[in-house]
């Protein structure tokens, strides 16, 4: 058991989703969500918080220490309690929260499903990867599997009878997915291929709580062109099955090893051999050569999902650190530090500890706002009930913000966990407390689902240039409107954020000019700093927007320390965190390329 109780910050969650973003009002305009209302959303999130607290969090620490095992037949044993937790998920419909009811889903909006995912991942990141990956794979099955299987297989997965994985990575093909070498040879049966190769780092490659695993495997067909265009995608089950979903023979996809890793130890990270000791059948999804477009169908969802993981561990770190700081008594207050007889105080009284906690709080709450906003825009952009121009604008905004949601929230998520360790001092480093595990669990999030370096290049090299820069210009324009709208209530803060927006625009132009001169390396060198800079401004805008809503509520007579905290969040962000963005912009515009010139002893 964790030495500090897990807590979900439902007050902040509900403020963000209902008060700031008016998600219930905006989702209420969509026919597909007509069966839901604010009360249902609230009750769903409260139930998710209960499961996170009572079912998931108790298995998080022990699962980390126990890890997973694999036997010679390739069957994985997960930590104690995982099977029961999976049963809770299956029975409660949590795997298919936002899936279509025709495949056993609940049909909730992504926005609400994301909040539940935040809570699950906050309580037990490693466990919550199994339902997340299964749902992702099931979505591909639902859309692209051979027709007779689309509904029944996706249903098996969304209801938790079968699991699912994503198999892209190979030893020589990580970031460069197009370098995949797994071979897929057609058989006499239409759409059926024999696969040979080895996939590595496959999360949830097997588990002892589902009857079958359906792998989504990237592979190359004979004579396929080199690079990404030659990649196809296959449905590769652990056990073959017939059209009535009866399980048959064991297929030749077998887990032959587990990685020993830094964190998320309850998530089995598998080496998956395909066709090594018996033939491995795979069923083509879509058409040959469509592997990456089909896989990238999930890209926004998957990247936002990893951003949520980053925010979720940060949220856990913050609540643990806050509780600890209120209880832990150490030393006298700074005013009395020379007096040996002065009363001892809780460490939350020390200014440096308050600074750490405030940094954590502000980042957790602004990241939450960004992620919920992206999820809400995603829901609205897919609704036929909205005018096409509005839908397009929302979809553009999602496209622009996805790399920031993924990279900034996972980089900051890790940083917040590290700060959490610092708040606890020596006990933060000791595994009796949950902070050290959070740091280890958090690190992978900046690496998988496209490293953060790749996200930054996507933002700078693709998203900023998309539609002639329209996505970026629209974002700048809307952000300036928020600044203007709030300049009466928060003159100093709105002005500072307005200036920071100007810096982001100038820095983007500077980098664009480098690109136009063909100095691609010089521009890409600054991709990560630019992503961090823009990310900080994006979060500052969320702090401003939250303060706007809080002030209106205070003026309407609803006064509380929580709402005043939103005003202080804004001040703190603008005075302490926003200057980093300006400084980064200046560093980028200095044009320094010394690291490209330095030999680095190569």
Ligand X SMILES: Cc1cc2nc3c(=O)[nH]c(=O)nc-3n(C[C@H](O)[C@H](O)[C@H](O)COP(=O)(O)OP(=O)(O)OC[C@H]3O[C@@H](n4cnc5c(N)ncnc54)[C@H](O)[C@@H]3O)c2cc1C
Minimum separation from the CB atom of position 254 to ligand X (A): 16
Task: Report the distance separating Cα 366 and Cα 544, nearest Å.
Answer: 10
The residue within the footprint of ligand X, chosen from 44, 57, 269, 381 (CB under 6 A), is 269
CA distance 238 to 402: 33
Cβ proximity of 241 and 149 under 8 Å: no
User: With respect to ligand X, which residue has the nearer C-beta, 501 or 525?
Assistant: 525
Q: How many CB atoms lie within 10 A of CB 30?
A: 17
CB of 86 to ligand X, least distance (A): 17
d(CA 466, CA 454) in angstroms, rounded, equals: 17
**Token pair recorded at residue 473:** 């210009």
Phi, psi of 511 (to 5 degrees): -70, -35
77 binds ligand X (CB under 6 A): no
Contact pick of 40, 88, 228, 451 for ligand X (by CB under 6 A)? 451
Among 33, 120, 158, 448, binds ligand X (CB under 6 A): 448
* Chosen residue from 192, 247, 332, 454 binding ligand X by CB under 6 A: 454
The answer to whether residue 292 forms part of the interface with ligand X (CB under 6 A) is no
Distance of CA 136 to the CA centre of its chain: 13
Rounded to whole angstroms, the Cα distance separating 145 from 406 reads 28
Q: Which of 194, 276, 386, 447 binds ligand X (CB under 6 A)?
A: 447
Size of the site for ligand X (CB under 6 A): 19
Stretch that binds ligand X, among 24-32, 189-197, 235-243, 449-457 (CB under 6 A): 449-457
The residue assigned the tokens 């469509």 is 290
Cα distances (angstroms) measured from residue 74 to each of 35, 156, 238: 44, 22, 10
User: Please, are residues 44 and 155 in contact by the beta-carbon 8 Å criterion?
Assistant: no
Contact residue for ligand X among 32, 261, 391, 465 (CB under 6 A)? 261
Determine if 273 is a binding residue for ligand X (CB under 6 A). no
Site string for ligand X, 115-154 (x = CB under 6 A): ----------------------------------------
**Choice from 99, 202, 412, 578 touching ligand X (CB under 6 A):** 202
Q: Which is closer to ligand X, CB of 21 or CB of 308? A: 308
- 561 vs 299: CA distance, rounded Å: 39
Identify the burial level of 65 via C-beta atoms within 10 angstroms of its C-beta, where 0-12 means exposed, 13-18 middle and 19 or more buried.
exposed
Which residue's CB is nearer to ligand X, number 531 or number 569?
531
Q: In angstroms, what is the minimal distance from the CB of 218 to ligand X?
A: 8
| Paired sense of beta strands 344-346 and 239-241, if any | unpaired
Q: Minimum distance from CB of 240 to ligand X (Å)? A: 22
Q: Give the largest Cα separation in the chain, rounded.
A: 87
**95 binds ligand X per the rule CB under 6 A:** no
CA distance linking residue 456 with residue 319, whole number of Å: 29
Which range, of 45-53, 91-99, 163-171, 486-494, touches ligand X by CB under 6 A? Answer: 163-171
Residue 168 interacts with ligand X (CB under 6 A): yes or no: yes
- Phi, psi angle pair for 118, to nearest 5°: -55, -45
Stretch that binds ligand X, among 44-52, 195-203, 381-389, 584-592 (CB under 6 A): 195-203
Measured from the Cβ of residue 182, the count of other Cβ atoms closer than 10 Å reads: 26
Number of other CB atoms surrounding residue 294 within 10 Å: 19
Say whether residue 181 binds ligand X (CB under 6 A): no
Catalytic residues: 449
Nearer to ligand X, 199 or 361 (CB): 199
228 is a contact residue toward ligand X (CB under 6 A): no
**Binding of residue 166 to ligand X (CB under 6 A):** yes
Chain residues that interact with ligand X, rule: CB under 6 A:
165-169, 174-175, 201-203, 261, 264, 269, 444, 447-448, 451, 453-454
């Amino acid at each position: 058991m964790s030495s500090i109780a897990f807590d979900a910050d439902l007050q902040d969650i509900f403020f963000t989703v209902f008060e700031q973003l008016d998600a219930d009002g905006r989702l209420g305009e969509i026919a597909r969500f007509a069966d839901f209302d604010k009360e249902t959303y609230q009750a769903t999130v409260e139930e998710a918080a209960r499961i996170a607290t009572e079912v998931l969090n108790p298995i998080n620490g022990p699962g980390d220490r126990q890890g997973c095992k694999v036997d010679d037949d390739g069957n994985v044993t997960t930590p104690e309690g995982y099977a029961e937790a999976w049963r809770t998920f299956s029975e409660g419909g949590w795997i298919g929260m936002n899936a279509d009811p025709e495949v056993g889903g609940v049909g909730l909006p992504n926005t609400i499903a994301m909040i539940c995912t935040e809570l699950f991942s906050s309580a037990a990141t490693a466990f919550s990867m199994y339902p997340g990956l299964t749902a992702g794979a099931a979505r591909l099955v639902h859309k692209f599997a051979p027709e007779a299987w689309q509904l029944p297989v996706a249903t098996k997965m969304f209801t938790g009878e079968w699991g699912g994985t994503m198999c892209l990575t190979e030893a020589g093909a990580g970031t460069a997915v197009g370098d995949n070498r797994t071979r897929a040879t057609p058989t006499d049966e239409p759409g059926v291929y024999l696969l040979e190769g080895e996939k590595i780092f496959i999360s949830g490659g097997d588990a002892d709580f589902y009857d079958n695993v359906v792998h989504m495997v990237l592979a190359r067909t004979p004579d396929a062109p080199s690079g990404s265009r030659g990649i196809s995608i296959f449905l590769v089950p652990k056990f073959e099955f017939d059209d009535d979903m009866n399980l048959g023979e064991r297929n030749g996809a077998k887990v032959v090893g587990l990685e020993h890793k830094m964190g998320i130890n309850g998530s089995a990270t598998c080496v998956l051999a395909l066709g090594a000791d018996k033939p491995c059948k795979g069923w083509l999804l879509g058409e040959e050569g469509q592997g990456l477009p089909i896989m990238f169908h999930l890209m926004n969802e998957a990247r936002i999902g990893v951003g949520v993981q980053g925010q979720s561990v940060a949220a856990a770190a913050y609540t643990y650190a806050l509780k600890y700081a209120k209880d832990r008594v150490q030393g006298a207050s700074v005013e009395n530090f020379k007096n040996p007889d002065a009363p001892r105080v809780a460490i939350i009284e020390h200014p440096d500890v308050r600074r750490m906690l405030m940094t954590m709080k502000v980042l957790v709450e602004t990241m939450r706002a960004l992620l919920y906003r992206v999820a809400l825009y995603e829901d609205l952009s897919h609704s036929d009930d909205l005018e096409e121009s509005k839908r397009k604008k929302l979809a553009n905004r999602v496209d622009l913000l996805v790399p920031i949601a993924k990279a900034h929230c996972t980089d900051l998520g890790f940083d917040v966990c590290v700060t959490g360790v610092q708040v606890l001092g020596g006990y933060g480093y000791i595994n009796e407390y949950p902070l050290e595990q959070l740091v280890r669990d958090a690190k992978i999030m900046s690496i998988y689902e496209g490293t953060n370096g790749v996200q930054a290049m996507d933002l700078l090299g693709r998203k900023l240039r998309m539609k002639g820069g329209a996505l970026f210009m629209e974002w700048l324009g809307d952000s300036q409107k928020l600044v203007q709208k709030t300049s009466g209530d928060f003159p100093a803060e709105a002005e500072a954020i307005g200036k920071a927006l100007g810096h982001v625009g100038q820095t983007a132009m500077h980098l664009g000019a480098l690109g136009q001169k063909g100095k691609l390396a010089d521009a890409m060198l600054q991709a990560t700093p630019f992503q961090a800079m823009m990310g900080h401004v994006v979060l500052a805008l969320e702090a401003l927007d939250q303060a706007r809503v809080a002030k209106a509520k205070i003026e309407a007579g609803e006064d509380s320390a929580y709402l005043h905290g939103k005003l202080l969040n804004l001040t703190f962000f603008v005075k302490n965190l926003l200057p980093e963005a300006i400084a980064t912009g200046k560093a980028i515009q200095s044009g320094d390329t010394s690291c490209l010139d330095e030999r680095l002893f190569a």
